[in-house]
Amino acid sequence: MSHLVSVVVPAYNRSNRIESSLLSIAAQDYENIELIVVDDGSSDGTGNVAESVLMRLGRDFKLIRHETNMGVSVARNSGLRCASGDYVIFFDSDDIADPDFVSTLLEAITKDDGDVAFCGYRQRFEHSREERAIPVGLDPRRQYSTEEITIMLIHGQLALIIAAMFKTNFLKTIGLEFTPNCIGDEDGEFLTKAFSRCKKIGFSTKCSYVYIMHNNNTTKILRSTRDEKICYYADRAATLCRKARYLTEHAESQKVRDIGNYILSEGLVKTLNAAAMHLDKAKFYQTLNMPETRQALFAGCRYFFKKPELFIKAVFLLIAPSVYFWVRSKS
């Protein structure tokens, strides 16, 4: 019997785009797919458009409607909680995929009974229709350990992963969900946590997912003013700290747990930067005087050869915090 694959599509005000996404999922060469659309409090009739398309396709589907907009992380979590599939994919409502997308990931994850598998993607620029392939950056002839791939992900040595399949039972067993209200790198946080707990990770060098580049991409909207840019920066700093704490507490590999300590130093420095840029002295000194921060800064002083700028910032913060605050407040 073939595996059931749940495809979770969170959608917020995507009435003019969701049809093409759902049609591309329906056109997959793999048949046993459960489609789950989460209308995250849309005000433009996105849920009705999705329902109409799904009814027309004649497929079994689940449509979850949030009364208010709660963010993509909460929407994905809602979809995950009601997923019946052996495997689950999170699919953005303004993107599309080649017909072999699901079968490619399924082959990669079942080959060695993996917990996660991922593939490359293509950027398609909406106005020009130009495409650019973003391969995974791994050699298919090589055998990679889970530890290797996880460390490469943490250090940014892999291409951005936006197309992945997860074993549903794996996610539910470790209790992993997306962080609500996270606006910066919620995907990266989720992937880092998942990879750090995996026994096996599969991948494909195919670029079967198509990321549509258009003017309404969420991250562009979130960074249009200086205040919004600072808020986004602060959120990314908080994400980095959550990643670090999770790795030190839960990672399967000791080497990955050790990297968590390094990442925490970087995340807390960024948190202090954000407080200074917000001119929030109270938060700056409250964060600086936390025992965790002091320990992380002293640890950061050990990373001179790995990341000299982190060493310099850590020393600066420990020796002359008021000067550091003034300098960062001007940036």
- CATH of residue 104's domain is 3.90.550.10
Q: Are residues 17 and 91 in the same domain?
A: yes
Q: Are residues 153 and 241 in the same domain?
A: no
CA distances from 253 to 151, 155, 187, 215 (A): 10, 15, 21, 41
| Domain final residue pick, 189, 217, 245 | 217
pLDDT, position 104: 98
CA distances from 78 to 40, 166, 243, 286 (A): 10, 16, 22, 35
Q: Are residues 110 and 173 in the same domain?
A: yes
| Domain final residue pick, 186, 217, 248 | 217
Q: Are residues 251 and 285 in the same domain?
A: yes
Per-residue pLDDT tens digits of the chain, which is 331 residues long: 599 999 999 999 999 999 999 999 999 999 999 999 999 999 999 999 999 999 998 878 899 999 999 999 999 999 999 999 999 999 999 999 999 999 999 999 999 999 999 999 999 998 888 899 999 999 999 999 999 999 999 988 988 898 999 999 999 999 999 999 888 789 999 999 999 999 999 999 999 999 999 876 654 455 668 888 889 999 999 999 999 999 999 999 999 998 898 899 999 999 999 999 999 999 999 999 999 999 888 877 776 667 788 888 888 999 999 999 999 998 8
pLDDT, position 206: 96
Q: Are residues 157 and 262 in the same domain?
A: no
pLDDT, position 128: 83
Of 202, 154, 194, 147, whose CA–CA distance to 174 is shortest? 194
Tell me which residue has tokens 């790795």.
Answer: 247
Q: Are residues 102 and 198 in the same domain?
A: yes
Tell me which residue has tokens 């994400």.
Answer: 239
Tell whether pTM > 0.75: yes
Q: Are residues 198 and 298 in the same domain?
A: no
CA distances from 1 to 64, 86, 266, 323 (A): 28, 12, 48, 66
Q: Are residues 125 and 272 in the same domain?
A: no
pLDDT, position 308: 83
Q: How many domains does the chain have?
A: 2
Q: Are residues 130 and 240 in the same domain?
A: no
pLDDT, position 220: 47
Report the C-alpha gap between 84 and 308 in whole angstroms: 48
Amino acid making up residue 315:
V
Report the C-alpha gap between 24 and 94 in whole angstroms: 11
Tell me which residue has tokens 């992937």.
Answer: 191
Q: Are residues 211 and 241 in the same domain?
A: no
Q: Are residues 206 and 232 in the same domain?
A: no
| Domain final residue pick, 161, 189, 217 | 217
243: domain range? Answer: 223-329
Of 175, 160, 154, 176, whose CA–CA distance to 258 is shortest? 154
Q: Are residues 199 and 245 in the same domain?
A: no
pLDDT, position 305: 65
CA atoms within 13 A on the CB side of 13: 8
